[in-house]
Structure 1
Amino acid sequence: MNTLKTGILLAAMTALFMGLGFLIGGSNGALIAFFVAAAMNAFAYWNSDKMVLSMYGAEAVDERTAPAYVRLVQRLAENAGLPMPATYIIHSAQPNAFATGRNPEHAAVAATTGLLETLSPEELAGVLAHELAHIKNRDTLTMTITATIAGAISMLANFAFFFGGNRENQGGIIGTLALAILAPIAAGLVQMAISRTREYEADAMGAEISGRPLWLASALEKIESAAHARPNEAAEANPATAHMFIINPLHGGGRDNLFSTHPATANRIARLREIAATKGQAQARTNPWG
């Protein structure tokens, strides 16, 4: 059901992009917009990991430079039945993490220095398992394409606002202005809806990969608190990528509503505790691998 919902939302974003193309150039503009959207998606498919990692100045690490971190990712990847992803560190005091890549065979996990310094090994395992769940579900590609189309819609909307209008547009200047203003808002709402849907599913699968749902619950509490106090400057400069992080890097939370890029952290923690309860797990720090 979540996959179907995501597909519908992506189709809606493509339709918005084509609508703006029609606004600017009529039927031919809509057709051109369709092909541009297809080309952008192809570019994002092949280059999504490189683009995002470059934005955040991510540094590749291995067992020699970050042994504990890399070995933990390797162990969790084995639990998840995934190939070992590339591992990166982002030099940021804000504890956070994301995964990227077009498929499990070409994926990467990136954690901030703040995350590695703040969390216990168990909590870190919970976070990394969540990111591996995104890779297993192929959310990394979906979220990158969503960000790409949303950014393009905003760009086209600005163009339409100043230069829009065509003979086929019966709405005239009012219709032009309305679509130019509302299209980016609608695209943002769709982007946020996709992100929230995928986060809940990754929480549940991540809990299965790590074997301890409460590890992630404990980590989310810590990350949420720190996000208020420690800014992520790279994220502030690239807000379209905020939905890729485990916790919104632009602020510490907010209600689970239309305008939040992530589900409310309290709701996520409650769901994880329910999963733990069904498994009869009372302690967040009990290590099933020890």
Structure 2
Amino acid sequence: MNSLKTAMLIGFMTALFMGVGLLIGGGRGMMIAFLVAIATNLFAYWNADKMVLRMHNAQEVDARTAPAYYGIVEGLAARSGLPMPRVYLVHEDQPNAFATGRNPENAAVAATTGLLQRLSPEEVAGVMAHELAHIQNRDTLIMTITATLAGAISMLGNFAFFFGGNRDSNQPLGGIGVLVGMIVAPFAAMIVQMAISRTREYSADRRGAEICGQPLWLASALAKIATAAGRTVNVPAERNPATAHMFIINPLNGQRMDGLFSTHPDTGNRIEALRAMTDIAPHTEGTRLREDAAPASGQPGPWSSGVDRGRAPGAGRRRGPWG
């Protein structure tokens, strides 16, 4: 089903790309846009994950360079039945994370240094389980391709501004077409991004909670990330806003509503949905773990190295899970 949705999205984005080309340069512009769209789709399928990781200056780590962080991902991947993804670290103070890759066999997860510093190992496990859920649901291909094509459509709109279209061609709307290409096309691409991320985040939250075994770990992490993200500027994300929908929480400042212009569902709604997966009443103070929420004795989870599973997230923690 996700493969069909991916094909439909690529078709829609390609048609949108061609429409912008038609408005800017008439029939010739449409053909050029079609060729560019084909090239962009092929490039995005094979290389968009690498490009996104480079955009955010992600550094690959392993069991030697980041043993605890890598160990958390390794344990969760085994628990979910997924191949071990490549693991990256993004040197940004804003706590956040994302996943990318065209399929589970060629996937990568990335967390910021801010996430590892501010969250407990349990909360990190909840976040990385969410990212693995995106990989398992095969969301990463569609999210990564959308980021690439949305950026390309925005770039095409900028071309319209600089070159002003070819009024001697078959361009149907003249200067109005250029204006439409400048404004409407990037806006339409943004709408597609929003629809994708908002519907898939809830699904990844639920599956991630199942993978790590504790919905409240992810709920606690979301609350902390949302609070800190609004106060911290993520410079690479601000420079590449087309990738915003890939993060677990919107990395762009000033995006706090759950309406049309939000790339993510409201964090409070996500937390309530996670709480509903437990037997804790909605009015209960939400993000603390109960003693009986830990895995049974003798059944260590992927967060087991150095983590007291009977405590609330962050209780007694002195250092982060990055080794």
Both proteins in one fold, TM over 0.5: yes
Moved more, 92-101 or 28-37: 28-37
Per-residue deviation at 1:219? 0.4
- Structure-2 separation of matches of 1:217 and 1:101: 25
Segment drifting more, 164-173 vs 140-149: 164-173
Instruction: Name the residue aligned to 1:99.
Output: 99
Pairwise CA distance, 1:192: 1.6
The two structures, once aligned, show a CA RMSD in angstroms of 2.3
Partner of 1:87: 87
Change (3 A) 1:185 1:80: same
Q: Choose from 233, 236, 240 the match for 2:235.
A: 233
Written as runs of structure 1 = structure 2, the 5 A alignment for 1:1-290 is 8-161=8-161, 162-165=163-166, 167-251=169-253, 253-277=255-279, 284=289, 286-288=293-295, 289-290=299-300
Deviation of the 1:30 alpha carbon = 2.1
Describe the SS at the equivalent of 1:254.
coil
Q: Secondary structure at the match of 2:102?
A: strand
1:157-207 CA distance string (max 9 Å, x none) = 222344324543433333442343211111111112112122121111111
Structure 1: segments with no counterpart, 5+ residues: none
| Aligned residue identity for 2:194 | M
Question: Counterpart of 1:157 in structure 2: which amino acid?
Answer: G
TM-score by length of 1: 0.90
Identify if the C-alpha distance between structure 1 residues 265 and 77 changes in structure 2 by more than 3 Å, giving closer, same or farther.
same
Deviation at 1:70, TM superposition (A): 0.9
Q: Secondary structure at the match of 1:105?
A: helix
SS at match of 1:87: strand
- In structure 2, relative to structure 1, the CA distance for the partners of 1:77 and 1:272 (3 Å cut) is same
Unaligned 5+ residue runs, structure 2? 281-285, 301-323
Q: Which amino acid counterpart does residue 180 of structure 2 have in structure 1?
A: A
Identical pairs, percent: 66
Is the contact between residue 23 and residue 172 of structure 2 (CA under 8 Å) also seen in structure 1? no
Contact 1:218 1:284 in 2 (8 A): no
CA distance 1:156–1:123, change in 2 (3 Å): same
Instruction: Number of aligned residue pairs: give it.
Output: 287
Distance 1:173 1:39 in 2: 28
Contact 2:101 2:140 in 1 (8 A): yes
Write the deviation string for residues 93-128 of structure 1: whole angstroms up to 9, x where unpaired. Answer: 111111111111111111111111111111111100
- Give deviations 1:28-77, integer Å, cap 9, x for gaps: 43233223212111111111222122222222211112111111111100
Q: Matches of 1:133 and 1:170 in 2, distance apart?
A: 45
By how many angstroms is 1:262 displaced?
1.0
- Secondary structure of the equivalent of 2:63? coil
Aligned pair in 2 of structure 1 residues 49, 251: CA closer, same or farther (>3 Å)? same
Instruction: Give the 3-state SS of the residue equivalent to 1:276 in structure 2.
Output: coil
CA displacement, residues 106-161 of structure 1 (integer Å, 9 cap, x when unaligned): 11111111111111111111100000011112222211111111111112222234
Residue 208 of structure 1 aligns with an amino acid whose one-letter code is E
Instruction: Select between 169-178 and 54-63 the one with higher mean Cα deviation.
Output: 169-178
Following TM superposition, by how much is the alpha carbon of 1:83 offset from its aligned partner in structure 2, in angstroms? Answer: 0.4
Worse overlay, 68-77 or 188-197: 188-197
The alpha-carbon deviation at position 9 of structure 1 amounts to 4.5
TM-score where L is the length of structure 2: 0.82
Q: Measure, in 2, the Cα distance between the counterparts of 1:275 and 1:262.
A: 20
- Describe the shift of the 1:122–1:133 C-alpha distance in structure 2 as closer, same or farther (beyond 3 A): same
Separation of aligned partners in 2, 1:2 and 1:76: 23
Provide the secondary structure at the position in 1 that maps to 2:277: helix
Maintained 8 Å contact 2:24/2:171: no
Question: Which protein has the bigger helix share?
Answer: 1
Which amino acid is 1:284 matched to?
L
